[in-house]
Structure 1
Amino acid sequence: MADKFKFALAVLLLVAGVAGFYLLAEQAMILRVLAVMAGIGLAVAVAWQTEPGRRFFDFARESSAEARKVVWPSRKETMQTTGLVFAFVVVMALFLWLTDKSLEWLLYDLVLGWR
């Protein structure tokens, strides 16, 4: 029950930050943006105190750690793979074009005699 209250408070703080942006229409833009940023910051701080919030931030931390473990391809490997994909696309395009023209010739010229 406490988590639901905290989450509702976080949503209200977020809405208050956005509302502050519009209520401060006569003020400088930096103050309006700071109102939104304060609302977001306070909402995140309150949401962090809930059990789902803690689980989410643990998940985000673990995801970031896993992303750092990924072995990204080198520039050479990326260029080679991209070249292979382009070559395959060109070969498939030629194959499909030849198949289309062959079937067109077969049906229209030989079978139906339309040309």
Structure 2
Amino acid sequence: MTDKLKFALAVLLLVAGIAGFYLLANEAMILRVLAVLIGAGLAAAVAWNTEPGRLFFAFAKESTNEAKKVVWPSRKETMQTTGLVFAFVVVMALFLWLTDKSLEWLLYDMVLGWRKV
């Protein structure tokens, strides 16, 4: 029950920060952005102290560690793959254009006997 109350408080703090952005419409933009950042920071601090919040932040930390383990392709591999994709797109575009024109010729000229003007 305590976690639910803390989570509700975190949501209210976030909403208050967003509401502050709109309530300070006549103030400088920096103050409006600070209102949102302070609301979000306080909401994160309160959410951190809940069990679901701790689980979420642990998951986020593990996700970051896993992302660091990813082996990214080299520039050469990226350029080769991109070239293959573009070549495939051109080939498919030509194939679909030829198919379309063939069906157009077949239907208009052969089946229906219509001539395009």
Q: Could you say which TM-score interval applies, normalised by the shorter chain?
A: 0.7 to 0.9
Q: CA deviation at 1:71?
A: 0.7
Compared CA separation, residues 94 and 52, structure 1 to 2 (3 A): same
In the TM superposition, what are the counterparts of 1:1-115 in structure 2 within 5 Å? 1-24=1-24, 28-115=28-115
Residue identity matched to 1:48: W
In 1, Cα distance between equivalents of 2:88 and 2:45:
51
Q: CA deviation at 1:36?
A: 2.6
Q: CA deviation at 1:29?
A: 4.1
* Structure 2: gaps of 5 or more residues: none
Give the count of matched residue pairs: 115
Q: CA deviation at 1:73?
A: 0.9
* Structure 1: gaps of 5 or more residues: none
Compared CA separation, residues 2 and 91, structure 1 to 2 (3 A): same
Residue identity matched to 1:13: L
Q: CA deviation at 1:108?
A: 1.9
Residue identity matched to 1:83: G
TM-score, with structure 1 as normaliser: 0.85
Q: CA deviation at 1:60?
A: 0.5
Compared CA separation, residues 41 and 95, structure 1 to 2 (3 A): same
Cα deviation 1:79-111 (Å, max 9, x = unaligned): 111111111111111111111212222222223
TM-score, with structure 2 as normaliser: 0.84
Residues 50-59 or 4-13, more deviating? 4-13
Compared CA separation, residues 7 and 107, structure 1 to 2 (3 A): same
RMSD: 1.9
Question: Matched residues, percent identical?
Answer: 85
Q: CA deviation at 1:75?
A: 1.1
Residue identity matched to 1:98: L
Residue identity matched to 2:95: F
Residues 96-105 or 86-95, more deviating? 96-105
In 1, Cα distance between equivalents of 2:55 and 2:28:
38
